[in-house]
Amino acid sequence: MFELLTDKLTSIFARLSDHSRITDEDIDSVMREVRVALLEADVNFQTVRTFIQTVRQKATDTASLESLSPGQNIIRIVQEELTAILGSSQVGIFESDSKAAPIILVGLQGSGKTTTAAKLALHFQQLKQSVNLVACDLRRPAAADQLETLGKQINVPVYKNMLASTPTEVALEGINQGQQQDSKYTIIDTAGRLQIDNDLMDELEHLVKAISPVEVLLVVDSMTGQEALNVATEINARVPVTGLILTKMDGDARGGAALSIRHMSGIPIKFLGTGEQLNMLDTFHPDRLSSRILGMGDVQSLVEKAQATMGDDSIESIEKNMRNATFDLDDFLIQLQQVRKMGPISQVLDMLPGIGQIKKKMGNQGLNVEEDRLSKVEAIIYSMTPQERQSPTIINGSRRRRIAHGSGTTAQDINQLLSQFKQMQQMMKQLSKQGSKFANKTMLR
């Protein structure tokens, strides 16, 4: 996500790094380029105008941090203003003293609402909070079946009653079930439409009045760009929306919706959907996202993901390898399998500071690990001897043929893995030189 915008902004600001002095003309030139980059990323023009005016005004001020160069100071200002536009601080789910506090998910059909309901339930589970799901889409039976299937995958109870007369009736029954099960939250999946209409809004208004939810979360497809802002504005005018969940962020290289919707609607973004897997719902942190947009990575989120999926022993092992820049193919396989649990490897790598510049220097091919290749990688490494895993340089032609036969792959597959492994070593060395660590003890405590 934000790939196009990140590439452009990092390229723009890289030209300022060597400047010992920044003139008004330099600022005007940079701001023109930033403005174009934001508009091309489908950011709302009013948001762009406000952002550019604020950054230009602060950049021309004489006050700056003495520890920063002029170029670094402008980047600092840009990051601060990006964070402000995104909402300044993280806004979590409202707490409630009541059992089975209802959370209503609303949105148009196709926004990923039903899947998001299950993702949110898993999120609460990971926080050790009990939850139940309620299928209130009486118009589309497949939605209730889908939610039931997803609930079974994460071991969360799902209430449905397709014979009920109204969604409100089902919601009240589901909340009652959640109270009996001692749930902290009851997540209610409502019907979506291809477009906003009065029937949908009347139904939602009645539901909200009847159950007094602790949250009304609007699920919007980030790939719809400016239309996402229109949907948020129209629904919020009829039903008070307390938070936004932006889905399909992994497929949106521009990211204009995320940068516009908070600023224009005033509704806080609470979660980002970053993939199809149920564990790919990220809590939204404005400061972390602005850092990623500027190519500075997001180590804090990376560490949190690692802690949730691995464990301190594994993290310390990876940290040691990152620091020493030494590992063998056994380590490579273990780390690859662990990182897979955190989501697509491309997304994990993008959280590392400076990874964009390293990709440019080394070429993207060596760093892009396709998910469907990982089973081949495992088979190849398992077909190697312990000596070959520890010292891959000894693998010659005859060894390649034996490994290929044992793993059901080709010599070309093995060559590609060894090349990829070598480039991964080089990447770790560069990260080590930059002082970048995967985690450190102060961040883990």
- Residue segments in the chain with a per-residue pLDDT below the cut of 50: 65, 362, 364-367, 436-445
Q: Quote the radius of gyration of the chain (alpha carbons, Å).
A: 25
> Tell me, what's the pLDDT at 5?
83
> Tell me, what's the pLDDT at 438?
43
| Residue 352, both tokens | 């590392």
Three-class secondary structure assignment of the chain: CCHHHHHHHHHHHHCCCCCCCCCHHHHHHHHHHHHHHHHHCCCCHHHHHHHHHHHHHHHCCCCCCCCCCHHHHHHHHHHHHHHHHHCCCCCCCCCCCCCCEEEEEECCCCCCHHHHHHHHHHHHHHCCCCEEEEECCCCCHHHHHHHHHHHHHHCCCEEECCCCCCHHHHHHHHHHHHHHCCCCEEEEECCCCCCCCHHHHHHHHHHHHHHCCCEEEEEEEHHHCHHHHHHHHHHHHHCCCCEEEEECHHHCCCCHHHHHHHHHHCCCEEEEECCCCCCCEEECCHHHHHHHHCCCCCHHHHHHHHHHHCCHHHHHHHHHHHHHCCCCHHHHHHHHHHHHCCCCHHHHHCCCCCHHHHHHHHCHHHCCCCHHHHHHHHHHHHCCCHHHHHCHHHCCHHHHHHHHHHHCCCHHHHHHHHHHHHHHHHHHHHHHHCCCCCCCHHHHC
| CATH entry 1.10.260.30 includes domain 299-444 | yes
| Residue 381, both tokens | 């490494």
> Tell me, what's the pLDDT at 444?
42
| Residue 160, both tokens | 């449905």
Q: How far, CA to CA in Å, does 139 sit from each of 136, 171, 193, 281, 282?
A: 9, 15, 10, 27, 30
Closest CA to 4 of 38, 55, 47: 38
Instruction: State pTM to two decimals.
Output: 0.73
Closest CA to 51 of 62, 39, 61: 39
All structural domains of the chain with their residue ranges: 3-86, 101-293, 299-444
* CATH number given to 101-293: 3.40.50.300
HSE toward the beta carbon, residue 120, CA cutoff 13 A: 35
Amino acid at 236: N
> Tell me, what's the pLDDT at 100?
93
What are residue 279's phi and psi, to 5 degrees? Answer: -90, 5
Pick the CATH number of 3-86 from 3.40.50.150, 1.20.58.220, 1.10.10.10, 1.20.120.140: 1.20.120.140
Q: In what order do the strands lie in the sheet with 215-221?
A: 158-160, 131-135, 185-189, 101-106, 215-221, 243-247, 269-273, 281-283
> Tell me, what's the pLDDT at 189?
95
Q: How far, CA to CA in Å, does 83 sit from each of 62, 70, 77, 207?
A: 22, 20, 10, 34
Q: How far apart are CA 26 and CA 39, in angstroms?
A: 20
Phi/psi class of residue 265: alpha, beta or left (left: φ > 0; alpha: ψ in -120 to 50)?
A: alpha
> Tell me, what's the pLDDT at 162?
87
What is the CA angle 188-191-193, rounded to 5?
Answer: 145
Terminal Cα-to-Cα distance of the chain (whole angstroms): 29
Handedness of CA 235, 237, 241, 246 (dihedral sign): positive
